[in-house]
């Protein structure tokens, strides 16, 4: 193998640049040429690419976002488009490809491998919703942003005896709300995987806390609690019908109803894209570097259709299909622990 390609695909996450840097540096250590594809599979179709030198990636280790940009490109689900992508790789001399992204991107990588270009996936997503890996590049950085934002919102809630209802990201899954809510000591955490009852699990809980002398509150809600099933990417949102019937189908309506029924003055805050921004944490820099090195080792040893993962705390890899077919049930026990802990 003489030349490999690299792309970032799907949502951006802090640490993707550190992974790009590691891939390029490790590839250069093996004497490989690296071609950076801009904007994921879309860029591959458009042959929007440039060679990456070691010097060009030197300063990327703590830069947020992804210098290769990213895109969502549904057309890549079409086998003819995949075949064109493989053809373009051949024209560019690309004999192996590193794809940094989420599980949608891995499906594209699997298809591109079947079309003749060996691919290796690196999990880069803030959502931590990739079943086969214990960790993803960007999750820790995003969690740190979330606890920082919640701490700030907590200060003003405390000062004004208010409740702050905070919507966090997570695509179709509640991992960000769960771990962010636990870390920041949220009073209530609502996720798409576990059914809740507005009266029993929200109003009654806050009223009981108020009766115990607590004057301010923090409720963390995963964005996808309000998503219709058709929009819910990975998991079924078991609360969708319920939130619709109650007329609380977005965080503003939820907060207004909560204020009316609990008697606690309340404000809604949607953290939004701030959760994706900024420099990666130490943890994500190291994770991205280790994963980038591992990915190049796989390609250089003629292994393909692999996804780099963390298993039992160590970097290893799985077959992409095997990884994509794994199931990871939501950790209800941790959610229960959080509700008991915060009472
Ligand atoms: P994130 O978790 O951040 O959303 P993701 O990689 O899961 O990242 P997707 O939008 O699902 O994000 O996928 C990214 C890209 O991967 C798509 O825009 C498309 O180009 C390609 N892709 C997704 N699903 C498939 C599929 N089933 N077959 C081939 N390619 C796919």
pTM reported for the whole predicted model: 0.95
pLDDT for the residue 31: 98
Which positions ≥6 away from 294 have C-beta within 8 Å?
308, 315, 316, 317
pLDDT tens-place values along the chain, 343 residues long: 999 999 999 999 999 999 999 999 999 999 999 999 999 999 999 999 999 999 999 999 999 999 999 999 999 999 999 999 999 999 999 999 999 999 999 999 999 999 999 999 999 999 998 999 999 999 999 999 999 999 999 999 999 999 999 999 998 889 999 999 999 999 999 999 999 999 999 999 999 999 999 999 999 999 999 987 666 565 578 998 899 999 999 999 999 999 999 999 999 999 999 999 999 999 999 999 999 999 999 999 999 999 999 999 999 999 999 999 998 888 999 999 998 887 6
Determine if ligand 1 sits within 6 Å of the CB of residue 111: yes
Cα of 103 from ligand 1 centre, angstroms: 6
Q: Which two tokens stand for residue 242?
A: 């319920």
Question: Which of 100, 105, 129, 307 to mutate to test ligand 1, by most ligand atoms within 8 A of the CB atom?
Answer: 105
d(CA 233, CA 104): 10
d(CA 103, CA 105): 5
Determine if ligand 1 sits within 6 Å of the CB of residue 73: yes
Of all protein residues, the one whose alpha carbon is nearest to atom 30 of ligand 1 is 108
C-alpha dihedral sign at 223, 217, 255, 190: positive
Determine if ligand 1 sits within 6 Å of the CB of residue 12: no
Query: Which residues are 49's β-sheet partners?
Result: 37
Of all protein residues, the one whose alpha carbon is nearest to atom 23 of ligand 1 is 104
pLDDT for the residue 230: 62
Q: Which two tokens stand for residue 96?
A: 């192996």
């Amino acid at each position: 193998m003489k030349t490999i390609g690299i792309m970032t695909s799907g949502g951006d996450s802090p640490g993707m640049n550190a992974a790009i840097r590691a891939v390029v540096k490790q590839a250069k250590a093996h004497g490989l040429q690296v071609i950076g594809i801009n904007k994921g599979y879309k860029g591959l179709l458009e042959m929007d690419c440039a060679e990456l030198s070691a010097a060009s990636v030197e300063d990327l280790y703590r830069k947020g976002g992804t210098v290769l940009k990213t895109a969502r490109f549904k057309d890549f689900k079409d086998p003819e488009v995949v075949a064109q992508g493989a053809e373009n790789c051949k024209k560019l001399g690309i004999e192996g490809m590193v794809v940094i992204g989420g599980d949608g991107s891995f499906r594209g990588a699997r298809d591109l491998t079947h079309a003749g270009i060996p691919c290796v996936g690196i999990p880069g997503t803030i959502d931590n919703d990739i079943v086969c890996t214990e960790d993803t590049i960007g999750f820790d950085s995003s969690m740190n942003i979330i606890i920082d934002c919640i701490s700030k919102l907590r200060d003003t809630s405390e000062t004004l005896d208010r409740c702050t209802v905070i919507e966090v990201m997570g695509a179709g899954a509640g991992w960000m709300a769960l771990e962010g809510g636990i870390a920041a000591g949220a009073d209530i955490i609502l996720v798409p995987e576990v059914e809740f009852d507005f009266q029993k699990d929200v109003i009654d809980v806050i009223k009981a806390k108020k009766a115990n002398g607590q004057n301010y509150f923090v409720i963390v809600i995963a964005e996808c609690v309000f998503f219709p099933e058709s929009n819910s990417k990975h998991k079924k949102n078991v609360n969708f019908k319920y939130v619709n019937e109650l007329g609380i189908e977005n965080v503003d309506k939820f907060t207004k109803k909560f204020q009316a029924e609990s008697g606690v003055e309340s404000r809604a805050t949607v953290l939004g894209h701030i959760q994706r921004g900024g420099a990666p944490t130490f943890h994500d820099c190291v994770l991205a570097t280790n994963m980038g090195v591992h990915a190049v080792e796989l390609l250089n040893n003629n292994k393909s259709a692999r996804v780099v993962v963390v298993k039992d705390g160590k970097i290893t890899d799985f077959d992409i299909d095997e990884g994509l077919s794994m199931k990871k049930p939501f950790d209800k026990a941790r959610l229960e622990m959080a509700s008991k802990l915060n009472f």
